[in-house]
Amino acid sequence: MELQGVDGTRGRPSHHLARLVVLAALLTLLALAGPAVAEAATTGGSGVTGLPGPGATAGATATATATATATAALTRTVVKTVTKTVAASGAPVLVTDPNSPPSGYRLTANKVLAIASADPRVKGELRRHPKAIPYEYTKGFPTWQVSWFSNGKPQRELLQVYVDDNTGAVTQAWTGFQVAWTMARGYAGAFGRRVNSWYIWIPFCILFVAPFLPWRRRPTLWHLDLLVLVSFSISLAFFNHAKIGLSVPLVYPPLIYLMLRLFFLANGRGVPRHPLRTLTPTSWLAVGTVFLMAFRIGLNILNSNVIDVGYSGVIGADKLLHSVALYGHWPKDNMYGDTYGPVSYMLYVPFRLIFGWSGSWDSLPAAHGAAIFFDLLCLAGLYLLGRRLRDNRMGVILAYCWAAYPFTLYALNSNTNDALVGAVLVFALLAIRTAPGRGVMAGLAGMTKFAPFALAPLLLRGAEERLRKRHIVGFGIAFALTCVVVMLPVLLKNDLSAFWHDSILYQSDRTTPFSIWGLWGGLGWLQSLCQGAVIALAIGVAFLPSRRTLVDVAALGAGVLIALQLTLNYWLYPYIVWFVPFAFVALVAAHPEHEPPAVGAYPTDPAHEQPAVRIHIASS
């Protein structure tokens, strides 16, 4: 069987087989996903960082989660939320008798304090804060926790140390932002569990790149694009080892490259001159997509965790089902989960109805089911979009890129709602032919996680030759009606104030170490300048370039989303899923369908002129 030098020419039998394989696979996976998820038995990690404050008693530990925010907000980095991760085993309980071992423990609080104080990392931090006040806590046998607070009011937690009661050894010592942000500590499997293992991650990187390797051909920008998309793995490796000082800045070079690459592509620069070639036939890619999706779903069911984002979706769905105000008064173990748009909660409602919810942060099969559905929805949207743009082969390639890309698997195995953002935006491209359709999808996308509102001007213009009054009216009415309908649960419950405070204001006001703006500090002026430039850019793409195709719209949309992410205070790897579907469409579909004529061929015969390869979707 021929594996190399495939030139994209496809006979009808292969074309028909690939189409049947993909459609059958999608139907099968959708049918199996529901009952399989019901067997999911994974959980979120243990509790967030937070202590009963100095002077508290053991009985105050019931408020440990609530006081976590108050304590964290006073650390060197202002913090308002913490993603739940795999950490020490229990909530901290303040020890009030320093000379007697707590029940079930061997060491006394004074002995533990002496052990912790002798650690070189602790000595170094205490030299900077000689007046810091220590407090000792049990944190579930055999773990002790010693925390040093600043002297004065309000007190802030400066240092946190864990000591093993059995060995008397210091097992962890955290300072700075890693005191409050447990997700910055590199706990194994905190996001996605086994997906971070090298024997899963590296093969996915290889599978993502391998079909497009330039065998006996000169590499092109497309191959550089693939390497850049995979290069986020370098930052993730440092993040998984708690090296936030390296992981955060290493995100920006690939983001900046992709942003510039996509903007140039939308303006006719760097457009590929040759068709996209693969080392394998289309039918092989289709079968590979099926197997990859089956593996992804199986891994999600057998070895994944639900972080706070997925938990929030289930809580919000439960509130909607019980006709309770959606924003405000959330459970203490996810107090800041009401930060997303209403759509993020509405689409969890069917899964909450099917799988139920115990009322606690348990295995959350509803969150697993929703994450799998969002993942399949995005894959199906990309396949349909590829078929509309060109043919079945294009759809299969786009679907394969989604299935093989390791960061889409990362988002799936963390059971977040980020794939929902990508899916809604893909369907916005499918609705690009009509202004009202674009308006509806723009409203839904914005009411999911707010960031896609930046694409409203772009979708207003769509792929139209010029912006006409009827386009503006049709888009505007559909956009406004969609937003109003989605907001009805908030408006009918007089919940608008809580919505504004807990989502819009909260998202814009928090400072975190997961961006250079929060990690380094002192760059507020530059961040404000960049944010102003992003606003101008988001408006500008409604007018420039003057002539555009659907592929150009995808490139511009991905570029705007990346530009916006570059200015955010809070950035995590699942956010890649927001823009990567648009990036796949732009980078893959920009390739021409046919080879250009050889230089000097048919110099005077217009019958041999090649047809235009850029695609224009006319309005209806």
Same domain, residue pair 141 and 230: no
Q: Are 262 and 558 in contact (CB under 8 A)?
A: yes
How high is the pLDDT of residue 602?
Answer: 52
Name the domain count of the chain: 2
- Structural domain ending residue among the three candidates 184, 213, 230: 184
Q: Are 74 and 156 in contact (CB under 8 A)?
A: yes
Same domain, residue pair 165 and 33: no
How high is the pLDDT of residue 546?
Answer: 87
Same domain, residue pair 268 and 238: yes
Residue 2 lies in a domain: no
Determine the Cα–Cα distance for residues 618 and 32; give it in Å rounded to an integer: 38
Sign of CA pseudo-dihedral 212, 215, 216, 220? positive
Return all residues near 382 (Cβ < 8 A) that are at least 6 apart: 395, 398, 399, 401, 402, 426, 581, 584, 585
Same domain, residue pair 28 and 73: no
How high is the pLDDT of residue 29?
Answer: 41
Residue 600 lies in a domain: no
Same domain, residue pair 199 and 327: yes
Return all residues near 131 (Cβ < 8 A) that are at least 6 apart: 150, 151
Residue 161 lies in a domain: yes
Determine the Cα–Cα distance for residues 471 and 438; give it in Å rounded to an integer: 10
What is the residue range of 344's domain? 12-41+190-589
| Type and span of the H or E element at 145 | strand 143-149
Same domain, residue pair 86 and 197: no
Determine the Cα–Cα distance for residues 81 and 341; give it in Å rounded to an integer: 17
Residue 136 lies in a domain: yes
Cβ neighbour number for residue 71 with a 10 Å cutoff:
23
pLDDT, tens digit, for every residue of 441-471?
A: 999 999 999 999 999 999 999 998 888 899 9
Same domain, residue pair 372 and 224: yes
How high is the pLDDT of residue 12?
Answer: 36
Same domain, residue pair 223 and 370: yes
Determine the Cα–Cα distance for residues 230 and 234; give it in Å rounded to an integer: 8
Q: Which two tokens stand for residue 511?
A: 């400072």
Determine the Cα–Cα distance for residues 121 and 315; give it in Å rounded to an integer: 40
How high is the pLDDT of residue 341?
Answer: 95
Q: Which two tokens stand for residue 269?
A: 């620069």
Cα distance between the two ends of the chain: 44
133 alpha-carbon distance from chain centroid:
39
Q: Which residues of the chain have pLDDT under 50?
A: 1-50, 53-88, 608, 612, 618-620
Determine the Cα–Cα distance for residues 197 and 190; give it in Å rounded to an integer: 12
Return all residues near 502 (Cβ < 8 A) that are at least 6 apart: 327, 328, 336, 338, 339
pLDDT, tens digit, for every residue of 526-535?
A: 999 999 999 9
Closest by CA to 50, choosing from 34, 32, 70, is 70
Same domain, residue pair 395 and 294: yes
Sign of CA pseudo-dihedral 285, 288, 293, 299? negative
Same domain, residue pair 16 and 88: no
- Structural domain ending residue among the three candidates 151, 184, 217: 184
Indicate which CATH number applies to the domain containing 89.
Answer: 3.10.450
Determine the Cα–Cα distance for residues 554 and 588; give it in Å rounded to an integer: 11
Q: 519 — alpha (psi -120 to 50), left (phi > 0) or beta?
A: alpha
Determine the Cα–Cα distance for residues 615 and 393; give it in Å rounded to an integer: 16
Same domain, residue pair 173 and 224: no
Return all residues near 219 (Cβ < 8 A) that are at least 6 apart: none
How high is the pLDDT of residue 595?
Answer: 85
Same domain, residue pair 225 and 255: yes
Residue 386 lies in a domain: yes
How high is the pLDDT of residue 600?
Answer: 57
How high is the pLDDT of residue 576?
Answer: 98
How high is the pLDDT of residue 533?
Answer: 97
